[in-house]
Structures are given as structure tokens and as C-alpha cells.
A and B are shown apart, each in its own frame.
Chain A
Amino acid sequence: MTAFEIPDTAVVVRARLLENADDLDALFVLAALRAQDGLVAEGISILERVLDLNPTYPGGWRFKATLHRMRGEDEAERSAWARSEAIEG
């Protein structure tokens, strides 16, 4: 059987960001973890950094649309969704 423990997501994210503060995958998951903790605005802010660095980050715009919806920001949600449709179809 698999002989090692699966590390906690937050621990992996922290370790990756210590190695590289611009690790897009780690930042993306950090945004999700923050939103999960109720810090949706902070999650959006982190996600915007991801999308600044890579505007085609997989699932990035759709996730941004989700977070804006959670905050009741209809126009921002529509705009993010439109970007995701343009990029990912």
C-alpha cells in the first residue's frame, strides 16, 4: 500500500510559495483556500494576480466568475465569464 502521508493542501501551498512567490498553481489554490475560509475578496485579489501573470491560466476566469457571484457582483461575474468563454470556449 502507499507508504507515505498525503500532506495537507495548505502546507503544500505554503511550501511552494516559499520556493517561488509567483508559483501560479500555488497562488490559484491559495485563492481557493482563502475563499473557502470566507475571505472571498482576498481570494479574488490573489486570483487577479494569477491572471495578471497568466491571463489564460486554466479555469482562472471561470473561478473568478464564481467568486464574484459569491459576493453578488453581477457585472464582474458576467465579465469574468465572458473572458473564460473567449479563452476556453
Chain B
Amino acid sequence: MSAAAPVVRLKICMAGESVVGKTSLIRRYVLDEYDDRYLATLGTKITKKAMTVPGPKGTDPVTVHAILWDIMGRPTVRELLREAYYHGAEGILLVADGTRKETLASLDDWHRSIRSVAGDIPTLGLVNKHDLDPDPRLAPEGIKAFFEKRGWSWAYSSAKTGEGVEEGFRRIVELVLKDRPAS
């Protein structure tokens, strides 16, 4: 009889400006629900999600318990809280709002802050609210160039319709597993 495959625990930090939809993305992914009302996140909320993903390098599927840290999008005290929030993170899910150009540019600051604590860990960008009319200043080529320049994988998403949500969370977990040293 073979032993049960070990469960891998991963801490993933969600970051990005206020009202980009971080909490809604988690809610869509974990509960398959969406609520139009906005309630600002204060502090952080932790959500656990179990998933099975293909093993890195073609090995057997791996059961992952992703610990999703939904961090408030208020830069006011970001630097003060960075150790509290980012210590031990293994992956970063950066979220921008496709209807507000400035939220894309701000991802650099969030990424820098997380990296200063957690090191050079896998990063995935999500350009959320793809169900809405985009900011006319945000051309698709510009978005693509932004992420390519930084070497980050990325995708469009919509917490409202579910577009790209499950794929996004799975992708960041796969990137983290691929990045981990073989055990």
C-alpha cells in the first residue's frame, strides 16, 4: 500500500490597490459567489483553498492547501506592515483594475514591497474587471508590454463573470510548485 501523497501548504499573497477586486476574486474562486457591494478590506483576511494540480515536471498530481492572504489595498501603512504580511509568502498574485490605469502602474510598488521580505518569488498578474469597459488609456498592447517587461505571467479576469479566476489561482500555484526545489 502506498503512503498518501503529502499535502503542500503554500502562502500566496494577493496585492494591489483598493477596489481592484482582490476580495471578490477570492470569493468567486472559493465560494463561486459575487457581490456588487463594496466593503473595504481592513487588515488581512486569510482563506484556505484545497486544490489538486499537476505535479511539476510531469510528476503525479499534487494536493495543495493554498493559504490566500487578501491584503488591504491601502498603501498608507504598506511598508510598516510588510513583514507581518509577506513573511513566508511563496507566490504573489498582483491584481490591477482594467478600468483604472493607475492600478496597473502601482503593481511595481506592491511587488517591490513583497520582494523585499519574501525574495524573488513567482508572480502572476491579473487585470480584473474585464467585464467592464476598459480604461481607454489601457491598450491591450500596453498591458502585455507591461507584464512582459517584468517577466510576470498575466491574464485578464472578472470576479463578476468568473472569467480567468480559477485559471489564475491554479496558475500561480503551478508556478510556485515549479519554482520549488525538488524534495
Instruction: Please tell me the number of chain B residues within 8 Å of chain A, measured between CB atoms.
Output: 27
B19 to chain A, nearest CB (A): 6
Asked whether B135 is an interface residue with its Cβ less than 8 Å from the other chain, the reply is: yes
The chain B residue sitting closest to A66, CB to CB, is B83
Q: For chain A, what secondary structure do more than half of its interface residues adopt (helix, strand, loop), or is it mixed?
A: helix
Inter-chain contact A13/B83, CB cutoff 8 Å: no
A58 within 8 A of B: yes
Question: Across the interface, do B42 and A62 meet the contact criterion of CB distance under 8 Å?
Answer: no
Determine the main DSSP class of B at the interface with A. loop
> Within residues 30 to 85 of chain B, which ones have a CB less than 8 A from any CB in chain A?
38, 40-46, 69, 72, 74, 76-77, 80-81, 83-85
Given A36-B76, A62-B83, residue A89 in contact with residue B88 (CB < 8 A)? yes
Q: A9-B74, A36-B76 known; A59 and B84 CB under 8 Å?
A: yes
Which residues in A have some Cβ–Cβ distance to B below 8 Å? 1-2, 4, 6-7, 9, 12-13, 16, 23-26, 28-29, 32-33, 35-36, 57-60, 62-63, 65-66, 84, 88-89
B→A interface (CB under 8 Å):
18-19, 38, 40-46, 69, 72, 74, 76-77, 80-81, 83-85, 87-88, 97, 99-100, 133, 135
